[in-house]
Amino acid sequence: MFFLYFFGFFTFSLIAIWLIIAKIKLNNSNYQRIKNYVIIVKNGQEKIEGLIRSINIWNYLKGMPIKITVVDLGSRDDTINILERLTYQGRKINRFYTADHIKEHQITALLEEFVQKGEEVILQYVNEE
């Protein structure tokens, strides 16, 4: 019986310490940097919606501020329609570029712009060719 109480107290203590540390990290300005998920996609209709929804749900649960920027490199499947729907549906995507609006050399400049703003850039490439 003593072991059961000890184990419960120990578990409760660990959870309390973890919550305190998480709160301190969230209040620290270094941990409040905006994460900018940059997704470069070409013909990714099978994966793109799930990826964007997962990013949004995960960061919502963590309470982290995020942006999602998508660069489409000329998809010929239903990717663009999916991205347009997600752009207008609850503002899941902050910026959306197509191959008509951005050239490959401009992607590097775009990434550098995000870094200069102090955003943490997380790059994801989705290609189903």
Q: How many domains does the chain have?
A: 2
CATH code of the domain containing 119? 3.40.50
pTM, rounded to two decimals: 0.68
Sequence-distant contacts of 1-8: CB under 8 A, at least 24 apart: none
| 59 and 108, same domain (yes or no) | yes
| 11 and 38, same domain (yes or no) | no
Q: What is the pLDDT of residues 62-113, one digit of tens each?
A: 878 888 888 888 888 898 888 888 887 666 787 777 776 777 678 888 888 8
Print the domain residue range for 2.
Answer: 1-32
Q: Residue 10 pLDDT more than 80?
A: no
| 86 and 25, same domain (yes or no) | no
